[in-house]
């Protein structure tokens, strides 16, 4: 909280009534505000005053605005508006209730099946961006948001597309950084960027592999002083996650190894990653349903009848699968009729 913040209690562009400070990010401060035109809560990211005379920072902010508007996907943070007010650039984002992956990883390793669910949604988000020719360049736990208002399971949002070089590794002639680089970013940086300074689509896939390694093992693939981390990335890929974590399925182990390949051409694309994760788990791994939020940003519980209906739907699906498995395809029609009957009862 920042009670002395001059923006608190003001209205941006006579539309967004600033209520509170949500959190701070590299480019600026994020506020909770009320959109008086559409009667809804929003988040507003305002560029810090100290960046006002830094044209490069403005350019980066502009790229973020442009890139995020181009990427529309359930697993990306939706941009609602942007503009300038009293010399301040701002970006209006959908209001979300959640926590970043960093805070989740403080607790240690994550179960492989849950890792697959999270990774599939990250892959879907960056796949949508790559289809538009947009590279995230900054995939790290801080930029992966796990929503707290999912009906069940993990709902993932990837944020800050277009931040490009703000927190990226600055490359010197010997391939190391020039300092002021956060460890959280360096640990997920592709080796080709360190050696050449060129970052392309497959760099995001390397970062996804490093994120998956971190989730499965409970720590980043490389740790220690920043020079040690960067030299590790440049020297050799990390061992398979299974050498440091129990119960990692062979297919998931191999997928992470492929993503962390030193040759970008050997890394599977985002949609291929999503397909492999769904094939490995035997289920669709899309964005789960979200609870509505009230005017104060609190999740609204499902009505009792809706929750009951979900239970009946689940029973209907189980009944269909069970009948098909036990009797064979010859009675699919009967099984389908049973499912329809259960769904009608639920309604």
Cα–Cα dist 340/266, whole Å: 46
In this prediction, residue 52 carries a pLDDT of: 63
How many residues in the chain?
347
CA 78, 82, 85 angle in degrees (round to 5)? 150
Question: Across the beta sheet with 156-158, what order do the strands follow?
Answer: 98-100, 144-147, 156-158
pLDDT digits (tens, 9 = 90+) for 272-303: 999 999 999 999 999 999 999 998 899 898 88
Least reliable range by pLDDT among 223-237, 259-273, 333-347: 333-347
163 burial level (CB within 10 Å; 0-12, 13-18, 19+): buried
Cα–Cα dist 257/141, whole Å: 19
pLDDT digits (tens, 9 = 90+) for 93-119: 999 999 999 999 999 999 999 999 999
pTM of this structure: 0.80
CATH 3.40.50.300 fits 11-94, yes or no: no
Q: Residue 166 in contact with residue 26, Cβ under 8 Å?
A: yes
Cα–Cα dist 257/267, whole Å: 9
Say which residue, 175 or 238, is predicted with more confidence.
238
Can you count the helices (H) and strands (E) in the chain? 11, 9
Cα–Cα dist 32/288, whole Å: 24
Residues of the chain by 3-state class (helix, strand, coil), percent to 5? 45, 15, 40
pLDDT-above-90 percentage for the chain:
53
In this prediction, residue 97 carries a pLDDT of: 93
39 Rama class: left (phi>0) / alpha (psi -120 to 50) / beta: left
pLDDT at 48 over 90: no
Cα–Cα dist 29/51, whole Å: 12
CA 79, 131, 141 angle in degrees (round to 5)? 60
Beta-bridge partners for 24: 29
In this prediction, residue 79 carries a pLDDT of: 87
Coil/strand/helix, residue 10: coil
Domain range annotation of the chain: 11-94, 98-281, 304-346
Coil/strand/helix, residue 195: helix
Q: Residue 169 in contact with residue 182, Cβ under 8 Å?
A: no
Cα–Cα dist 188/40, whole Å: 36
Half-sphere exposure of 55 (CA within 13 A, CB side): 0
Helices (H), 218-303: 226-235, 250-259, 270-281
Query: Hey, how many other C-beta atoms are within 10 angstroms of the C-beta on 250?
Result: 10
Least reliable range by pLDDT among 50-59, 176-185, 229-238: 176-185
Q: Residue 86 in contact with residue 47, Cβ under 8 Å?
A: no
CATH, domain 98-281, list 3.20.20.70, 3.90.180.10, 1.10.510.10, 1.10.3720.10: 1.10.510.10
167 burial level (CB within 10 Å; 0-12, 13-18, 19+): buried
Say which residue, 316 or 232, is predicted with more confidence.
232
Cα–Cα dist 197/161, whole Å: 19
pLDDT digits (tens, 9 = 90+) for 191-218: 998 888 777 889 999 999 999 999 999 9
């Amino acid at each position: 909280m920042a009670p002395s913040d001059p923006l608190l209690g003001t209205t941006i562009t006579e539309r967004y009534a600033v209520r509170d400070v949500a959190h701070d990010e590299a480019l600026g401060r994020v506020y909770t505000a009320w959109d008086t035109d559409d009667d809804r809560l929003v988040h507003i990211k305002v560029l810090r005053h100290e960046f006002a005379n830094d044209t490069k920072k403005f350019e980066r902010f502009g790229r973020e605005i442009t890139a995020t508007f181009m990427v529309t996907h359930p697993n990306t943070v939706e941009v609602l508006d942007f503009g300038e007010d009293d010399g301040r650039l701002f970006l209006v984002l959908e209001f979300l209730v959640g926590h970043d992956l960093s805070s989740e990883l403080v607790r240690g390793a994550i179960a492989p099946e849950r890792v697959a669910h999270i990774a599939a949604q990250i892959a879907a988000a960056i796949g949508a961006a790559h289809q538009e020719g947009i590279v995230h360049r900054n995939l790290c736990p801080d930029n992966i948001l796990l929503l707290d208002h999912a009906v069940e399971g993990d709902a993932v949002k990837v944020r800050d597309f277009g931040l490009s070089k703000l927190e990226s590794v600055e490359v010197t002639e010997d391939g190391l950084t020039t300092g002021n680089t956060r460890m959280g970013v360096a640990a997920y940086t592709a080796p080709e960027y360190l050696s050449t300074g060129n970052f392309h689509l497959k760099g995001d896939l390397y970062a996804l592999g490093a994120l998956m390694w971190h989730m499965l093992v409970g720590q980043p693939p490389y740790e220690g002083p920043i020079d040690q981390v960067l030299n590790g990335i440049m020297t050799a890929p990390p061992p398979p996650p299974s050498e440091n974590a129990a119960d990692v399925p062979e297919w998931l182990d191999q997928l992470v190894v492929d993503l962390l390949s030193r040759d970008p051409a050997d890394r599977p694309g985002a949609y291929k990653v999503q397909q492999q994760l769904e094939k490995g788990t035997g289920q669709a791994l899309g964005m789960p349903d979200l609870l509505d939020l009230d005017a104060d940003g609190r999740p609204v519980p499902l009505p009792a009848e809706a929750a009951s209906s979900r239970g009946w739907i689940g029973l209907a699906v189980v009944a269909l699968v069970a009948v098909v498995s036990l009797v064979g395809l010859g009675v699919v029609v009967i099984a389908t009729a049973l499912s329809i009957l259960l769904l009608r009862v639920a309604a």
